[in-house]
Amino acid sequence: MTDPTPGARALRGIGPREGLRPGLVWPAAVDPTAIDGPTRGQARGPRYRKSSFGLYVPAEVDGTGEQRIVEAAATYRAGVVTGWAGLAWLAARWFKDTERPVPLALQADEGTSAQPHLVAVTQEFLHPDEVIRLDGLRITTALRSVSFEMRHAPTVLQAAQAFAMAAYDDLVSIEELRAYCATHLPRCTGVGRVREALARLTENAWSPTEVSMAWHWKDEHPEAGLLHNCPIFDRSGRHVATVDVLDPDGGVVGEYHGGLHLAGQQRAEDVVREERLRATGLEVVVMVSPDLSDPTGFLARLDSAYERAVGRTRRWTVEQPPWWTDTSTVEARRALTGVRRERLLRYRSAA
């Protein structure tokens, strides 16, 4: 199976500093000659900060974001970045700026040292074909990284969120993960969590909160065939709205409203949008941030929306007119290139 990881090449050798992205700094050990690193006296001074045991970077280097991943990778010469950090290095937007320890894959005989604030060491078997080198770092392939994140997620819901946010940037598809799970993960820790999540994964969620909303919805109404970010059209083929979650059989729309939706111009636009949807015969139910930890109120509003939707005249359809380009799957989005891809997908970031 060919991994879809973009821009990567097979691992050759181990010089991780070579080709590091501009603006990032590889930590250096103390060097008495001051050629490859600071002298011991310089390392103690204000011009350097300690990034990890025995390694230093200039004090002005910000140790967050991608730089933090670099500093974690430097702690073990043969370590391979995986999990959320591997996905972030592959430009998965929803995994950037995560403050959790960086997962590093090591061979069982390499030994570990405790740096839990920076590194989370894993010594699971790692096949050489699952390691690539990209922009100066050794990372695991997209499939290995997302499966690691899913297998070690605290809940099945969080595993599904991890997949959805990797699929957001088209790094993995459901079928690729299904095949990978069957061939590469049959005995790995946590593979049961991946298998359980597979039946409820989506490739078209635009945020983790949408996954949570659909998850609670499906628990309450297991018969619902939910669609994420589904475009809705009137009977003339005009686009009415693209909604967070839709049950096309029940005629109910679910929208998540975070803090940005609660005031000002955005709130005014939301009111107009909801009225437009109701005018076509759809019922709208809104989830807000407190519902994420306790969905009881949302589910009660959802049940009421189903009751109101019964018997309503349907002036809407999800059948896409010929002029519309479908972008609901990883395969469809990967087929887009250049300006067309930028134009058709920029609405996701704006949303």
Residue-wise pLDDT tens digits, 278-304: 999 999 999 999 999 999 999 999 999
**Residue 7: per-residue pLDDT:** 44
Q: Higher model confidence: residue 54 or residue 270?
A: 54
Tokens matching residue 133: 């080198």
Task: Using DSSP, state whether 231 is helix, strand or coil.
Answer: strand
**Residue 13: per-residue pLDDT:** 31
For 159, residues 6+ apart whose C-beta sits below 8 A from its C-beta are: 149, 150, 151, 153, 193, 194, 196, 197
pLDDT, the chain, mean: 89
* Tens-digit pLDDT profile for residues 171-226: 999 999 999 998 887 778 889 999 999 999 999 999 999 999 999 999 999 999 99
pLDDT band at 5 (very low <50, low <70, confident <90, very high): low
**Residue 267: per-residue pLDDT:** 67
Task: Using DSSP, state whether 246 is helix, strand or coil.
Answer: strand
Average of per-residue pLDDT across 141-152: 97
Q: Do strands 283-288 and 252-257 pair parallel, antiparallel, or not at all (unpaired)?
A: parallel
* Tens-digit pLDDT profile for residues 18-29: 789 999 999 999
DSSP class of residue 110?
S
Rounded CA gap, 209 and 219, in Å?
15
Tokens matching residue 151: 């297998």
Predicted TM-score (pTM) of the model is: 0.89
Q: Higher model confidence: residue 154 or residue 271?
A: 154
Tokens matching residue 180: 């990978």
* Tens-digit pLDDT profile for residues 100-134: 999 999 875 555 565 778 999 998 888 889 999 99
pLDDT at 92 over 80: yes
**Residue 11: per-residue pLDDT:** 33
Quick one: how many helices (H) and strands (E) in the chain?
Answer: 13, 13
* Tens-digit pLDDT profile for residues 27-69: 999 999 999 899 999 999 999 999 988 999 999 999 999 999 9
pLDDT at 258 over 50: yes
